Chain A
Amino acid sequence: METIRNYLMTMFAALPNTPEVRKAMDELWQMMEDKYTELIEEGRTENEAIGTVIAEFGNLDELAETLGIRDYVPPAARNTAGEESAEETGAEDLAADPAGDGTGSQADTETPPAEEAAPADGNRASAASGNRASAAGSRRTALANWGQTALERRRRLFSERRRRLFGRMDRKAAGQDQSADRNGRQNAGWDDWQETGRNSRYEGDYGRGGAAARGRQLYTVSADEAQEYLNAAWLAAYMRAMAIFLFIVASAGPIMFEYVGGIWELAGFVFFFLCVAAGVALMIIAGSLVKPFKHLRRRKSCLDYAAARHVEYMMESIRTSTLAQKTIGIVLCILSVLPLAAVDILGLGSHFSEHVGISMLLFLAGIGVMMILLSVWRNGACRRLLKLGDRNTIGGSSTRTQRETGYVRPDVEAVMSVYWETVTAIYLAWSFLTFQWGTSWLIWPLAGIVKKVIDRRYGRRDD
């Protein structure tokens, strides 16, 4: 039973995380489970039952239309189970690793030879030759070609995807923007089309009405790309949190050394500028870390089935640590006033101890803020991924299309694109001209309310 479940999961792993896919998987699972149960009741062995169920599963290509993925069934998810799998020996092997490269008689005869069409690199080419070998007939040869472990094959698949990811970034760096890419693709020759087409993209026909009508391309994020994003985003989170800590602590320098006076005062300022400079540098590096993943935010994306599970798992795995970070952070922020209060209450109110108290406050508050931000940002990275394709941010759930942000009227769109910049300008101008800093901050909550109203009135809605 577990084998069948794994088989089905792997088949669907690279498909987008949508309700259609989810439903198809559930239904197919029902049928397979029923069939398996009955075969066992009829007295077949487990191996026989598994073999039969997998052999009679069919071909995922048939579902392409149903799942809204007409143009794209990824090689990894293509059915590898031909008649061979009916054999007991073959069944286990296949089921254990259906992520194979479309080997198997059925894949050879019934599906277009995608592998042969565009063998992008050595791996592809070897997979293709593996295909030809099995097409040549010998099952033994085919099985021998599968000699690698599932892990190895998966790693190969991942490294290839990674290569594609970076290839994509290079293209981007070369200044080809998305629309040009898309338009150009039509003329770019079949091979290129197929390469990009299989590259986890396809014409998205997702969601009801609006999204589909606008005909935007849907980009599916694979599990390894999601992991790469998380790695980058978490590292960036550490760096940014550190930078904020440095910014807060920076002012402790002048405060401490001001008391000592003389040449030490200079040391205080050196400390201040060093901290700020280091903080700025960290900020810039952090920004460049996540920059390659800008396309996730800029275009319509959706996690694939495996990626959604993976991110959900990652989020769960950091749950305790982020909770601890947040708690410690808040406690430290509250405790940070203690040194100052102690100085005050114990009557140590000398000039020196007050300076020490303030410095310690900054230090503790700095660590506290750093930890709070860290927990928020690490979780935020997971949420951002899960939010792709779903407005409700339910981890790993089947998803609707990503919410379109934007406005129905172009003039409103133009104004709103610089909304916060305008508000900032007004705030600064008002404050500096009138010096009413005490009241001018009210512009911020006011601006927030105004934006909500405009969003409600002119915001684009999907349904």
Chain B
Amino acid sequence: MSGISSDVIRGYNDTMILYLLLDRPSYGYEISKMIRSLSDGKYIIKETTLYSAFTRMEKNGLIESFSQLAENGKRRTYYRITDEGRACYRDKCEEWLLTREVISKFIVPQGRRSLPERDTAG
């Protein structure tokens, strides 16, 4: 994981997991794989982070777990999103749009550093 600090992205792990579960149920490794590929390998979620997110979200009723035989014949724990989870996902999306809107006001592309004119007369 280079570039992204785990502290910053922690708040958005739930959003990512919920997004990946919107269409169909999935399991731990598949989700971590999809997070990696969707982020072009820029974010690799750790197993412990993923598991603690699963348990926390299950406790809060956002997802449900069930056990199912995988194609390779092994038993695997799958997760599916609940209605509450979908609602939470929408909230999270709005929250992020707002966050992005606010934060982007403070972000300047490299090379160009221009502070807005501030009224110092106050």
Could you tell me which A residues sit within 8 Å of B by CB distance? 24, 27-28, 30-32, 34-35, 38, 56-60, 62-63, 65-66, 79
Contact = CB atoms under 8 A, between A and B. Distances in A.
Interface string B46-83: 11111110111000000000000000001011000000
Contact of A35 (B29, B54, B74): B29
Given A35-B32, A66-B55, A30 B48 contact: no
A56 B6 CA distance: 13
Nearest to B10: A62
B27 interface: yes
A24 B76 CA distance: 13
Contacts, number: 59
A58 B48 contact: yes
B20 interface: no
Interface of B: 27-30, 32-33, 44, 46-52, 54-56, 74, 76-77
A34 B32 CA distance: 11
B56 A28 contact: no
A58 B27 CA distance: 18
State the main secondary structure of chain A at its contact with B: helix
A252 to B, nearest CB: 62
B77 A62 contact: no
A65 B27 contact: no
A65 B107 CA distance: 35
Contacts of A28: 47-48, 51
Across the A-B interface, the 10 shortest Cβ-Cβ residue pairs: A58-B46, A58-B48, A34-B29, A31-B28, A62-B48, A66-B55, A31-B29, A66-B52, A31-B47, A62-B52
Q: Is the interface of B mostly helix, strand, loop or mixed?
A: helix
13 contacts: A24-B51, A30-B74, A31-B29, A31-B47, A31-B51, A34-B28, A34-B29, A34-B30, A38-B33, A58-B48, A59-B46, A66-B51, A66-B52
Contact of B29 (A30, A58, A62, A66): A30
Contacts of A59: 46, 48
A79 B49 CA distance: 13
Given A30-B77, A65-B52, A57 B47 contact: yes
A57 B76 contact: no
Given A31-B28, A35-B29, A62 B76 contact: no
B32 A31 contact: yes
Contacts of B33: 38
A35 B35 CA distance: 13
Contacts of A34: 27-30
Contacts of A24: 51, 55
Contacts of B51: 24, 27-28, 31, 63, 66
Contact of A27 (B28, B32, B49): B28
B75 to A, nearest CB: 9
A373 B104 CA distance: 77
A60 B32 contact: no
Nearest to A57: B47
A31 B44 CA distance: 14
A28 B49 CA distance: 10
A227 B33 CA distance: 43
Nearest to B54: A27
